[in-house]
Structure 1
Amino acid sequence: MLQRFAARAVVVGDRAGTVVPDAVLDVVDGVIGWVGPAADAPPLTEDAEVRSLPGVLVPGMVNTHSHAPMVLFRGQGEGLPLDRWLREVMWPREARLTPEDVEVAMTAASAEMLRHGVTTSVEMYFQPERIAAAVRATGARAVVANPLIGLPGFGTFDEQLATAVGLAGRSDAQVEFGIGPHSAYTVPLPVLRDAAVAAREHGMLLTVHVAETATEGDELLAQHGSSVPALLAAHDVLGGRVLGAHCVHMDDGDLELWREYDVAVAHCPGSNTKLASGTARLRDMLDLGIRVGMGTDGPASNDNLDLFEDLRLAAQLARLRERDATALTAPEAFWLATGAAAAAVGRDDLGQLTAGRRADLVHVDTEDIAFTPVGDVTDLLTHLVWSVGSRHVRDTWVAGRQLVRDGVSTTVDEAALRADVQTRAMRLAGR
């Protein structure tokens, strides 16, 4: 059946910032069949379902780096630097996690992201099958990377890698499985190499934290005489679908390695600023042709899952770092959460509203002072970046299926989930 969406405008989500006014978008079998001006739209079929939307249609956003089940720990460890935050607060509580904790928390977080206009997330967290079940329950999409990390209660590195590889054949368009070694300072280099080899053999995404803080690589530098990016290259970790999370403290040589090996970057400005990790060289990355996509990081370190806030912060920090008000344009900022983010995770079927891509759509309400004035259609995109927030998201569809209607989830009971998360969080905190 044909679904036709008519909207005030369609924001495509490309780097150029294309906006189509008075637009029509057709969906057939969960895929975009046509998009363009209403005056040029193809004839309707007899069974067509037509929806007239007063606002703008934008692509479902892609969150390139998340630990979404950490909604269980939102706001915990406030004021601590990353190393103490992990060791003193996060890891002890995570050691008490049950599979049910993870599934409930991921279900709540997935519903939250859908309300914010985020339809796909890259998750690096424990219990990948439970995370997948949660995502299927809400109807969202995810790339679920089984983590490799040396913490008590989560098995050996060999067991963790075997779990990740065992899931490779179970990927589909909605849930794709990947491999997520935490970092070079928590995972031995030979294990990182084995994980990368396995990821390439099975076409899986490999995502790893890199250069998040200024000092995390000091021990490795003293031992090997090389930066973490150079060590990853020397140990055959780079190549294939590799996504480096954060990548804040990168010198020219590191960035050149990222360009050479086509390593993508998950840029997480909200988390980087909250934990005082630093400001990434975003403009330099883009100028080198490095693929970059926006990420929120976990809701315990951001503390939310709202890419509208992160894309705005990314533009502000890039301009401040370069002392140049043109350092990151509004179209580029929005692209980093849509088309560029999809490309960063190797999913060119997502992230833009163009024919042939999956129909992951977000309706943003423009009947608000935040969208006034509009002198030119491109002002709509400018307002999306600088004036509008997730509070303006009204409806969300994934593959043409409506998952949020007028700001409310159509698939899960968010109030019940919030109560459940509260109870579980207090138990994990020892209260």
Structure 2
Amino acid sequence: MERLHAPIVLPCDQTCAVLRDAVVDVDDAGRLGYVGPFASAPAHPGPLRSLPGILMPGMVNTHAHSPMTVLRGMGGDLPLMRWLAEIIWPAESLLTPADIEAGMLLGSVEMLRNGITTSVEQYFQPEHMIRAVLATGGRMVLGPAVVDTPGHDWRRQLDEVSARIDVDGVRPHDRIEIAYGPHSAYTLSPEQLTTVAEAARSRDALLLLHVAESLGEDSVQRIEHGSVPRLLAKIGLLDGRVLAAHSVHLSDEDIALFADHDVAVAHCPGSNAKLASGIARLPALQAAGVRVGLGTDGPASNDDLDLWEEMRLAGLLARLSTMDSSALTAADVLLLATRGGAAALGRDDIGVLEPGRWADVVHVDVSSEAFAGGLSVPAEHLLANLVWAAGARDVRDVWVGGEQVVAAREPTKVDRAKVQAVAGTVTARLKS
């Protein structure tokens, strides 16, 4: 058992409370105990560790393809469909299972160092993905890709996911959740999507899907069905547990469909901006009651795995698109990256510092210029400094399930230099 003590604790509860001179208790099972003011804390038998700065929950990245660290920088100036068809899909066809593991190792290290303790991944080679994440000590929701494109057998991919869940369950490890990852309505037919949705529903598994990311990607589906959400509703896909990535081009009717079916959205403002896909209607989604979390997308389309950057972009683009400087506050976007991401996944065990949840904790250093005004400023001022001025560079220590996986900015379980070197050799080979 350990007690973490800091000048500021941000539980990321619904009110985004700022606790001063507070503690976070971690039990022997890696779960959180008491979280609150030091002065009223119960007696604690374990060691007390005092940390300067801010303690907050580990961030939740609700949409990523992290093995694409080895593809970072490729085709960086192309729109989505050309980028996929001309650059990414050909390069991915050359990746070996070992390449994917190397890319995921690097991605997991990058995310942990940035304060992201849970990522939602859609990619291939699940065994290698899981091995990489467990090696770094991270947490992952994995939807192995199901796609009907050249070189891929969608039915075999689907059956492998179902067999894995049937044998080991949706949660084969306390840090791993298995989901279904059908890519999109433009890489799978309505009949194929229906089959995947039925498999996911029958196992109460989360289904991950790209929806309406750009205007050109699913024009045929829009012509035939009016919109992608209407198509998905028509075939019954929205009736299960669904996390729709991007969801940029949605009408009022589409948003209402998501709200009615309790579909969650992974909002990826950085990737959407870089690929000129558009600006998602975040304020409208939230006003309709749609659960929304933040995602980085893949590190070849963003090109980093940094939710601090996504927080700022989400807030700035929401304000710009509505011409309303109060559209999203600092507190709003902080909650998107933490409790909002957990809610989007339907998880009540991560994303918030409260008793019973996993002790996924981030220690933010406050010695940088962002906090020159100190920590005694009013709560609103403190949150503004954290969200608008601080960043991934200020993350110093990270715990996942009570285990310290980052100490003084370096991973504790793997050698970062070796991880980067191995991933670099993959990139060099692909470019040769």
TM class by shorter-chain length? over 0.9
* TM-score normalised over the length of structure 1: 0.97
Cα-Cα RMSD: 1.0
Question: Is 1:383 aligned with 2:385?
Answer: yes
What one-letter code is carried by the residue in structure 2 that aligns with 1:8? P
Q: Secondary structure at the match of 1:22?
A: strand
SS of equivalent to 2:69: helix
* Distance in 2 separating the partners of 1:400 and 1:49: 13
Deviation, structure 1 residue 212: 0.3
Tell me the equivalent position of 2:164.
Answer: 167
1:31 and 1:379 mapped to 2: Cα distance? 30
1:378 Cα shift?
A: 3.9
Deviation at 1:241, TM superposition (A): 1.3
Aligned residues of 1:103 and 1:131 also touching (Cα < 8 A): yes
Amino acid in the other structure paired with 1:388: A
Aligned: 1:10 with 2:9 = yes
Residue equivalent to 1:398? 400
- Conservation of the 8 A alpha-carbon contact between 1:15 and 1:332: no
Q: Distance in 2 between matches of 1:14 and 1:122?
A: 22
- Could you list the per-position Cα deviations for residues 121-164 of structure 1 after superposition, in whole angstroms to 9, with x for gaps in the alignment? 0000011111011111001000010111123333x221010011
User: 1:63 is matched with which residue?
Assistant: 61
Q: Is the 8 A contact 1:150 1:186 kept in 2?
A: yes
Q: 1 CA distance for matches of 2:225 and 2:32? A: 51
Q: What is the distance in 1 between the residues matched to 2:84 and 2:425?
A: 22
Contact 1:17 1:381 in 2 (8 A): no
1:19 aligns with 2:21: no
| Alpha-carbon distance, 1:36 to partner | 0.5
Q: Take 1:100 and 1:324, find their aligned partners in 2: how far apart are those partners?
A: 48
1:102 maps to amino acid: I
Determine if contact 1:66/1:122 at 8 Å carries over to the other structure: yes
Give, as a single letter, the amino acid of the residue that structure 2 aligns with 1:77. G
Q: How does 1:82-161 map to 2 (within 5 A)?
A: 82-154=80-152, 156-161=153-158
1:74-130 deviation line (CA, Å, top 9, x unaligned): 010021000000000000010111110111110111011000000000000011111
State the AA in 2 paired with 1:203: D
Maintained 8 Å contact 1:338/1:352: yes
Question: Residue 218 of structure 1 aligns with which residue?
Answer: 219
SS in 2 for 1:185: coil
Q: Give the equivalent residue in structure 1 for 2:409.
A: 407
- How many residue pairs were aligned? 425
**Distance in 1, Cα, partners of 2:107 & 2:394:** 19
Per-residue CA distance 1:246-272 (angstroms, 9 max, x = gap):
000000110000000000000000000
2:209 corresponds to: 208
TM-score, scaled relative to structure 2? 0.97
Q: Partners of 1:218 and 1:15 in 2: how far apart?
A: 39
Question: Quick one: distance in 1 between partners of 2:303 and 2:187?
Answer: 23
SS at structure 1 position matched to 2:238? coil
Q: Which residue of 1 aligns with 2:295?
A: 295
Are the equivalent residues in 1 in contact too, given 2:149–2:187 (CA < 8 A)? no
Q: How does 1:257-296 map to 2 (within 5 A)?
A: 257-296=257-296
Counterpart code for 2:398: T
* Deviation of 1:239 (Å): 1.8
CA separation of 1:305 and 1:425: change in aligned 2, threshold 3 A? same
Query: Does the 8 Å CA contact 1:95/1:152 hold for their aligned counterparts?
Result: no
Instruction: Write out aligned runs for 1:416-431 (5 A).
Output: 416-429=418-431, 431=432
**Which amino acid letter does the alignment assign opposite residue 421 of structure 1?**
A
Q: Distance in 1 between the 2:206 and 2:430 partners?
A: 30
Q: Is residue 11–residue 381 contact of structure 1 (8 Å, CA) maintained in 2?
A: no
Report the Cα distance in structure 2 between the residues aligned to 1:379 and 1:364, rounded to whole angstroms. Answer: 16
Deviating runs (4+, > 4 A) in structure 1? none
Contact 2:12/2:335 (8 A) holds in 1: yes
Name the residue aligned to 1:52: 50
The answer for the alignment partner of 1:190 in structure 2 is: 191
The aligned amino acid for 1:164 is V
In the TM superposition, residue 377 of structure 1 has moved relative to its aligned partner by 3.5
Q: Percent identity?
A: 50
d(CA) in 2 for partners of 1:216 and 1:396? 38
CA distance in 2, matches of 1:292, 1:14: 16
Q: CA deviation at 1:323?
A: 0.4
Q: Report the CA distance between 1:173 and its aligned residue.
A: 2.2
SS in 2 for 1:167: helix
Listed one character per residue, the Cα deviations across residues 338-388 of structure 1 (whole Å, up to 9, x for unaligned) are 001001011111000111111000000012221132421443222111110
Q: Is the 8 A contact 1:181 1:187 kept in 2?
A: yes
Contact 1:21–1:377 under 8 Å retained in 2? no
Looking at structure 1, the residues matched to 290 and 419 of structure 2 have their Cα atoms a distance apart, in angstroms, of 39
Q: Secondary structure at the match of 1:9?
A: strand
Q: 1:43 — aligned with what? A: 43
Q: Which residue is equivalent to 1:241?
A: 241
Per-residue deviation, 1:14: 2.9
Match of 1:321 in 2: 321
The residue type equivalent to 1:89 in the other structure is I
1:250 alignment partner AA:
L
In structure 1, stretches of 5+ residues that fail to align are none
- String of CA shifts for 1:12-42, please: whole Å, max 9, x gaps: 1234221111001111121101110000011
Q: Please give the alpha-carbon distance, in whole angstroms, between the structure 2 residues aligned to 1:87 and 1:303.
A: 18
Partner-residue secondary structure (3-state), 1:238 = helix
Residues in 2 aligned to 1:355 and 1:184: alpha-carbon distance in whole angstroms? 40
Q: Secondary structure at the match of 2:197?
A: helix
Find the aligned partners of 1:416 and 1:158 in 2 and give their Cα distance.
Answer: 37
| Cα contact 1:16–1:332 (8 A) shared by 2 | no
